[in-house]
Amino acid sequence: TTGWISLTDDELLAECDAYRALGVKGFKVRLGRADDAARLRKLRAHVGADFHLMADANMRYDGEDHLPHLADLKEFNLKWIEEPLNQNDLPHYRALKNVLPTDIALGENLFNFDTFEMLLKSGLISVIQPDLLRCGGISGLLYVMHLAEKYDVSICNHLLAPLTATVISRSSKAVFIEYDNLLPLEFFKNDFSIKNGHLTLPTVPGVGTALNDKEIRTSLC
């Protein structure tokens, strides 16, 4: 994941290729440019029909005015569109679900368990994406996992893969681990390398994460 809107088309393709070289099976691109459709068309042609593409709008759209724009993305066979609207805009999410050609994912900006349950119970979303730092840490993440299983909704972490993957992987509803290169793997003593498109998980007890203090101090200095 990343696919920032600031990237040129060539940079976007190169970033996607870097992940594909690791065997990663999906890539997420940001929405919010006038040429969104052209970029997605070029990316889809580049990766082929069988590669998973996701899109992330970061809640930039509001209401009915943008529903046709989102519906027009159907030609790109997206795995999901993430946060197309504000998470509290349930009436327009209902309208969007009727015209959107793909699944809806959200959850990274949720803090409250009641809100998580309301959305999961609503049937409006297909993928819930809790953020470890916002949903109450490990205990909160476990609770959201329980809710996802209760309401039969898929779950994917939001970033922080080394801190989240061991926990998320235990869920029967886990579909993907979201991975980015923003947090250097050298910060961790454990092996979180990507092999054949899969993130290596520690086998030690607990979350399985230990920080490499020396590397962190070197980077900060």
Residues 155-182 pLDDT 10s:
999 988 888 888 998 899 998 999 887 7
pTM of the prediction?
A: 0.89
Residue 106, pLDDT above cutoff 70 = yes
Number of neighbours of residue 6 by Cβ within 10 angstroms: 8
* Cα-based distances in Å from 70 to 12, 73, 107, 170: 21, 6, 19, 33
| pLDDT of the residue at 184 | 78
- Over residues 28-45, the pLDDT tens digits come to 999 989 899 999 999 999
Give the mean pLDDT of 89-112. 86
Residue 66, pLDDT above cutoff 80 = no
Strands 154-156 vs 80-82: parallel, antiparallel or unpaired: unpaired
Torsion sign (Cα): 52, 181, 127, 43? negative
Q: Which two tokens stand for residue 115?
A: 């809100």
- Provide the mean pLDDT of the chain: 89
Give the mean pLDDT of 82-89. 85
141, 133 contact by CB (below 8 A): no
| CA–CA dist 117, 30 (Å, integer) | 27
Burial class, 115, CB count within 10 angstroms (exposed 0-12 / middle 13-18 / buried 19+)? middle
